[in-house]
Chains A and B, each alone.
Chain A
Amino acid sequence: MTETNQPIIQIRNVSKRFGKVTAVDNISLDIRAGEFFVLLGPSGCGKTTLLRMIAGFELPTEGQILIDGQDMSLVPPNKRPVNMVFQSYAVFPHMNVTDNVGYGLRISGVPKSEIRERVAEALELVKLGGFEDRMPDQMSGGQRQRVALARSLVMRPKVLLLDEPLSALDAKLRAQMQFELADLQDKVGITFVTVTHDQDEALSMASRVAVINKGEVAQLAPPSDLYEYPANRFVADFVGSVNIFEGTLTLDEPDKAAVDCPGLGKVYLNHGVTGPHGANVWIALRPEKIYLHVPGKGKAVRAAAQDAPDGHNFARGTIKGMSYLGDITLYEIQLEGGQIIRVSRPNLSRHDQEDFTWDDKVSMHWRADSPVVLLS
């Protein structure tokens, strides 16, 4: 890893408005040299606009973007030290692979022998050796994407921008490309900035993720922090699947806290929250962090659990929905208060999915450090 702390891209108070619509609303963030940075968000959140502003295809309405310390306000796209892989790949259909990859070098007047060398090297890097004379319409989507990647990498940019790089690929290929892109980034050491709406893509590839919502940064964190310590309901809900219960903060001490949720009962935590007492808060609980068992069977859970802040939390319900996904089974359980909670359970043995069925009465428990308290 060539990661350092010096920011290669500095986005300072950048806003972009199209007429009355605000696509990007006063975003400031730094992207460090050598990192794999992902802009994650739902469609229309402004993430692509932000990427296009870095590339120079859109100009900020307000604020400035610095690349490697240089203000880019007056620098056109063809003079910026960044290259972009387009969502549609934008491989030139009238040129073969070699001419496509060598396009940028030809334009900037690099000697022919060097072009040949660097093109061959770039094709090797994206595993397209032997495809030199192919025309784009004789290639699959995945191969065209590799051409687009090689075409950008051959320019040795300071930053490689990728707009939804995997969205047009099928599921298997996407999973494979996630690994390959991360591997490639590690190999070439160039800063990657990727836009995606797919949380799996973001979590698997990124060193840091900026979750964008309605033109603003909802949270900027490494993938595991994003998942385990979401900053607000939007992030908790957008990244992964989650149960959210509204409640009141009734106990808040340095080493313990309690939230009274009308739908779920009292939820205990083994850490403080530092929120105002009596505040309206939300409990976020991931489905895989809830243990499920038949009351009276299986592991005994301490009966006094509900009174023990350092023990497990406890709830009862009835199974109302089941969805068998192979590796896990998803259950929708109606709590005694009527609300639905989602629980996922790994199928550790071949018959685990047969343990429960519709309308079974079940008990649930989860660790006191599993729920996350959200203030917004």
Chain B
Amino acid sequence: MSGPLQDWKSQRKPFAAVASVPVFWLSLFFIAPMTIVWLYSFGQNVGPADIDISGTLDNYKRATEWLYLSIFLKSLAVAALTTLICLIIGFPVAMAITFAAPKWRPWLLLGIMLPFWTNLLIRTYALMALMGTNGYMNKGLGGLWEGASWLRTLVGMQPLDAWTPVQLLYNNFAVVLGLVYVHLPFMVLPLYSALDRLDKSLIEASLDLGAGHFKTFMQVVVPLAAPGIVAGVMITLIPALGAYLTPDLMGGTDSQMIANVIERQFKRANDWPFGAALSFLLIYAMFILIALQSMRSNKVKEAR
């Protein structure tokens, strides 16, 4: 059974040959630049383009000031809300795909993945066109409003006041909606893969033993889909936490997230050391999330 590369310990040379290219690639283009940015976070500006890595912790001290910490916490809240909404919308969608006729499943999955084939910027602008004061959402709502107004005149009541477009864009609502829109596929796919593996006769067994659909869902489907839920939450929460484009384009002045603040440090403020410190605080937060998750899944394994 132990062919080549079955076990890297007994096949060191071929393994090294295969592994060297990706290791080289990762070191050169990921680890090295990240290390440089990490070192910057302990430095200070000494000229327009010169950074002195003096080992100072001033950047971190400033990054943990309330001004920045509050934006950080707000980003976390926005990301958590986005994840929760994605979970609530995504679970029925994933279940629907799982229970759809087999010939429909690939098409439904394609429908979920189709947005990935379009650039995020284009998708965001398209959504903005939809939500603008002159967008289709407002036009649709306006049409309904006018319809209601006309109905009132039919029964002899005063018509409603003229429709004033609702401000849908450039606020926190728009940011969450945009983030949900962008991240929904990330939630649906792991949920689908977990639900697809679930033996359908377990659901039937639960019904057979007297449980209704809701009890079956809570007692059987959710616990067995837990790995998919955790994966979906992680894979949605982490990119949502670092979201940049959506709050930048769709948010208002009060809805900036931590990534927008970081971008400003690197560009307009030209304060790379401080930007680096903020970036690494974000990375540390993500590390903690991932560590918590893997500790939890280890515990589950041990409990078995």
Contact = CB atoms under 8 A, between A and B. Distances in A.
A84 interface: yes
A78 B204 contact: no
A203 B272 CA distance: 83
Nearest to A109: B210
B224 interface: yes
A175 interface: no
A151 B209 contact: yes
A108 B210 CA distance: 7
B208 A83 contact: yes
B206 A103 contact: yes
B212 A78 contact: yes
Nearest to A55: B208
Contacts, number: 62
Interface in B201-215: 201-202, 204-212, 215
B209 A155 contact: yes
Interface in A62-97: 76-79, 82-84, 86-88, 90, 92-94
Given A84-B205, A86-B205, A94-B224, A78 B199 contact: no
Interface in A175-229: none
A34 B215 CA distance: 32
A155 B204 contact: no
Contact of A94 (B201, B208, B223): B223
Contacts of B209: 78, 83, 103-104, 107, 151-152, 155
B230 interface: no
B204 A77 contact: yes
A90 B207 contact: no
B205 A78 contact: no
Interface of B: 199, 201-202, 204-212, 215, 219-220, 223-224, 304
30 contacts: A55-B204, A55-B208, A57-B204, A77-B204, A77-B208, A78-B210, A82-B208, A84-B204, A84-B205, A86-B201, A86-B205, A87-B201, A88-B201, A90-B201, A90-B202, A93-B202, A93-B224, A94-B223, A94-B224, A103-B206, A103-B209, A103-B211, A104-B209, A104-B211, A107-B210, A107-B211, A135-B304, A137-B304, A155-B209, A155-B210
